[in-house]
Amino acid sequence: MKLRKILFVFLILTFVSCKTPPVPPEARQAELLDDDLRRAGASVYAADGFFDYQRGHRAAKDKLIREGSKLGWFRDYDKIRADYESLLARGKSILQLARSRKEARIGALERQMSDLRLGIRLVKDISASINESQDVRKNLTKAEVCYREAELYVGREKYTEAEQRVNTARSHLARSESVVYSLLERYRDSDQVVRWRRWVMETIAHSEKTGEPALVVDKLARKLTLYKKGKAVAIHEIGLGRFGLSDKLHAGDDATPEGKYKIIRKFPSTQYYKALLINYPNEEDLKRFILAKKKGQVPARVGIGGDIEIHGGGDGNITRGCISVENEVMDKIYSQVGIGTWVTIVGTLDLENGILKTIQKM
């Protein structure tokens, strides 16, 4: 009797196991797709679809659990399989959308970083050629730090943080660019360059007519040219004031004046080696200074300044508005010029100057 009971149970179990339908494989596929969606950042790039998929997935799993709780021969997975197939189709579309949006975001971020990298390099190239770069370099350094941080965040796939760093870097770079633009804007003015060229042509013509030497200073090119009888016979590197690219307006502005001047005194020995004093301020400088005073562009108690020289001390020297050259160069110039020698100082003679070309790329 006992043996018959055991045999009966065995037959029942065998019958049940043969009749129990398998769990749809789509259920496992849905689990794997859920993982793929999370890794693709679907919660960020396709949030509505992703959370809709999760709700559908939970509902499908609940149905699967309820169906699995039934006795095997009562289980019917056909409807559940259809639900999973529909869920998988939606999930794959959501995955494709999330990946597409993520790739677009990364592409846009990479382009922004490429533009930022180029902007930093261009401003850095300019700042290396000008003295007026303290604010430029300060903001440029901040921009570079933020750029490096953005690179680190991209490597960790933290794109929101990377975008924030890029935006901050662009803000710092914009401040640097603003300083550069305001400083060099007049150097890109063709009318101003024509005026500077006219001064130089008049100076060369005077040298040719009188046979006297003349000096021409190109501030942007950082060059001093010695003319004899209208011919350029020597070109030398120069140093300028802290704000040497600006046109001098008043005492203490550390700018280097622009105009047509003359040597009015020669000093064989100064703290900066030999020196040639020019007649700044001339009549044009005085007129401009008085007008600036009336407009409130110069503080009431500030004077026009003076004591502008060409002196030794080195072409890398940062002066208070003077023009400096190497001592051996000063020896040569000092011996070839005299009282009354014309000295013409201009911003630039070349609209195609490398610095100005770089600005056009910014």
Q: Which of 136, 158, 188 is the last residue of a domain?
A: 188
- Cβ(175)–Cβ(135) below 8 Å: yes
Domain assignment of residue 150, yes or no: yes
Those residues with Cβ within 8 angstroms of residue 349's Cβ, 6 or more apart along the chain or in another chain: 193, 196, 197, 200, 218, 221
Q: Does 335 lie in the same domain as 205?
A: yes
Return the number of other C-beta atoms located less than 10 Å from residue 205's C-beta: 12
Q: Does 164 lie in the same domain as 40?
A: yes
Residues 284, 353, 247, CA angle at the centre, nearest 5°?
25
Question: Using 50, 70 and 90 to split pLDDT, how confident is the model at 360?
Answer: low
pLDDT at 19 over 80: no
Question: Using 50, 70 and 90 to split pLDDT, how confident is the model at 56?
Answer: very high
Alpha carbons 276 and 239: distance in angstroms, whole number: 15
Q: Which of 171, 188, 205 is the last residue of a domain?
A: 188
Domain around 92: 21-188
Question: Using 50, 70 and 90 to split pLDDT, how confident is the model at 136?
Answer: confident
Mean pLDDT, the chain, as a whole number?
Answer: 89
Domain assignment of residue 241, yes or no: yes
Domain assignment of residue 107, yes or no: yes
- Cβ(84)–Cβ(74) below 8 Å: no
Question: Using 50, 70 and 90 to split pLDDT, how confident is the model at 262?
Answer: very high
Domain assignment of residue 92, yes or no: yes
pLDDT at 4 over 70: no
Digit-coded pLDDT (tens) for 20-32? 788 899 999 999 9
Mean pLDDT computed over 320-324: 92
Q: What is the pLDDT of residue 185?
A: 83
Write down the pTM of the prediction: 0.72
H helices of the chain, in order, are 2-19, 26-39, 42-45, 47-68, 78-127, 134-155, 159-184, 190-210, 283-294, 327-336, 354-361
Digit-coded pLDDT (tens) for 188-234? 888 999 999 999 999 999 999 999 999 999 999 899 999 999 999 99
Which phi and psi (to 5°) does residue 260 adopt?
-105, 115
Q: Which of 188, 207, 242 is the last residue of a domain?
A: 188
- Cβ(315)–Cβ(236) below 8 Å: yes
Q: Does 219 lie in the same domain as 174?
A: no
- Cβ(185)–Cβ(131) below 8 Å: no
Number of domains in the chain: 2
Q: Does 211 lie in the same domain as 323?
A: yes
Q: Does 297 lie in the same domain as 196?
A: yes
How much of the chain exceeds pLDDT 70, in percent?
A: 91
pLDDT at 184 over 90: no
User: What's 270's domain CATH number?
Assistant: 2.40.440.10
Q: Does 178 lie in the same domain as 104?
A: yes
